[in-house]
Amino acid sequence: MTRRVLVTGGGTGIGRAIAQAFAADGCHVTIAGRRRAPLEAAADRPGMEIRVADVTDEGQVEALFDAPYEVVIANAGTGVAARIEDVALEDWQRTLTVNMTGTFLTFRAALRAGMEPGGRLMAIASTASLQGGAYIPAYAASKHGVLGLVRSVAHSVAKRGITCNAICPGFVDTEMAETAITGLMSRHDIPREKALTMVVGGNPMQRLIAPEEVAATAVFLASKGAASINGHAMSVSGGEI
């Protein structure tokens, strides 16, 4: 039977790579996001479908689940880099709402829609789920929250043969990492090369992680062989954590 997979934020970056990996595996993949154009550009394989939805909107998230999915990946996310003194309340709230509440609404709707045994819930969390940083108070708070949610849902679904896990990447080569790099360039008045060195400095492999490496982890966690991996925070960070 063709597995149905939902990837939120599936039009760009990590979500796009995950969607394409599952589509290449023969799954029917629905990608969701707020902007139609990147979704249309990303849905370039047979068996891919796009849905415009904001993960912070309860009704729009529930409307994605007109039929149950076998694999649901809460990937949509956002972040701002600033020390706590400089974080506007609006930015704090948006970060928590997209990253944490968006993941909650997505998982809740997946389970309410009747996810079957063998089902897989995943959150694209972050190494910021496992450690803080001076410039990421809102992002790290939200991603720690995502991990708490994942660990709790894992207990709740375990007897039903469903798993819930977090994938925790370090810096991945996407627009989000690019924003971090350009932010460092302007904050410290340094060239791109130096900013990139700072960004990859935390990763012992001294490089950005490829979105496809995160996608391969998601495909593994969705495999039958991963049936006993539950409530796990899988670091994909070259040994950073």
Q: Which is nearer to ligand NAP, 126 or 217 (CB)?
A: 126
Whole-number Å distance between alpha carbons of 103 and 180: 23
Determine which residue in the list 124, 138, 154, 222 makes contact with ligand NAP, applying CB under 6 A: 124
Q: Which of residues 66-85 bind ligand NAP (CB under 6 A)?
A: 75-79
124: left (phi over 0), alpha (psi -120 to 50) or beta: beta
Q: Is 135 considered catalytic here? A: no
Determine which residue in the list 33, 119, 137, 145 makes contact with ligand NAP, applying CB under 6 A: 33
Q: Does 13 bind ligand NAP (CB under 6 A)?
A: yes
- For residues 230 and 154, the answer to whether their CB atoms sit within 8 Å is yes
Shortest Å, Cβ 146 to ligand NAP = 8
Q: Does 217 bind ligand NAP (CB under 6 A)?
A: no
Annotated catalytic residue within 139, 154, 181, 217: 139
Q: Does 55 bind ligand NAP (CB under 6 A)?
A: yes
Residues found in the chain: 241
CA-to-CA dists, residue 132 to 79, 80, 113, 142, 197, angstroms: 13, 14, 35, 11, 20
SS3 for 210? coil
List the x/- string, 148-177, binding to ligand NAP by CB under 6 A. ---------------------x-xx-xxxx
- For residues 32 and 55, the answer to whether their CB atoms sit within 8 Å is yes
Residues acting as catalytic residues: 139
